[in-house]
Each structure stands twice: as structure tokens, then as C-alpha cells.
Amino acid sequence: MCGRATAGPSLSKDAVAPSQHSREWVLSPVMRSAILALVLMVGLLAAPRASADPVSTPEPSSPEGQAILAPALADLNNQLQKPANLDGIMLRTSQGWAFVQGQIKGPDGQWIDYSGTPFATGNHSKKYLALVRGNDQSWQLVTSKVGPSDVAWANWSQEYGAPAEIFPPS
């Protein structure tokens, strides 16, 4: 060699030898094992990572989305003590948990007017957040926040055991 460093095993006269029956080169068992190990490592590193239950984002108008939203909308209307809807809804689900985020609108489609509600005083956003748990047939409200002005969900994963992946970055 010309004084170069090699990154792997070097070929010696015993590593690759011509076959006695043909002009083909045959790899020794040691070299075959090294090449196989290298191919397997590259394959494992290049393989996509799959989690047991990835985060999904069901459409709010889908049957699953409607089932998730039902307890959240009931809670929203109960807390406001007047009719309201959500717009710009984001649903993120995983492992039987769902995070709901939306903008609170009145029945007329305009931003909610907090007058006459328990939220009439103070500085409240027009956001609604909810954490629900369940399956395709039945979802139950775990916790919620009407009009948060901070990152209300920051501790929900630790507090309720929900997967952190369903929450937006803080």
C-alpha cells in the first residue's frame, strides 16, 4: 500500500482467491460475513422508522372526527352557557387519545362574543383546546380550556398520560 489508511478490512491474498475451476473470484467466508454485516447495517439505517401507533389527523367532518368533536363541542357550549361552534379545527390522535384545537365562533359564524358568559371579564383568546380519550365509537372529555392565553396543554401529557406526539410544539 502507499501509506494510506483504510476504512475497513484490507484484502489479503487469502481474502479473495481465484476459483480453481474458473476465472471467477471467490470471497472467503470472513469477507462474505463482513460484507453481509455491512449491507444489513446500511439497510437498517436506511429503513423508515415506524411507530406502533403513529399520529393521525382525521378530518373534522369524517365520522371519526365527528365522534371526537362531540364531547368537546358539548363541553364548549356548557362552559360558555350559550351556543358556539369551532372553526379551523385541528385534530391529532394517537393511542386512543385526541387533541382538539379550534377557533370559537358563534352560531352566526362570527367570532364568539363572550358577553353574558363566565368568560366576559378578563383577557381570553378565541381558542378552545380539549383532550379526549376513547375509540372510534365513544370519546370522553378528559380536560379542556376555553380562551387560553398561554400554552394550556404544556403539561397535559405528563398530567394525564397522553402521548406527547399529539400536542403541537410549545
DSSP code, position 111: B
CB 86 within 8 A of CB 105: yes
Report pLDDT for 32.
65
Q: What is the DSSP track for 51-72?
A: -SS--B---TTSHHHHHHHHHH
> In DSSP terms, which residues pair with 90 in a beta bridge?
101
Is-contact 69 100, C-beta < 8 A? yes
Pairing of strands 127-134, 97-105: antiparallel
Q: What is the pLDDT along the chain (170 residues), one digit of tens a residue?
A: 444 444 445 444 554 555 555 556 576 777 666 666 655 555 555 444 444 568 999 999 999 999 999 999 999 999 999 999 999 999 999 999 999 999 999 999 999 999 999 999 989 999 999 999 998 779 999 999 999 999 999 999 999 999 999 999 87
**Cα–Cα dist 170/160, whole Å:** 17
CATH code for the domain defined by 63-166: 3.10.450
> In the structure grid, which three cell numbers stand for residue 98, read together?
385526541
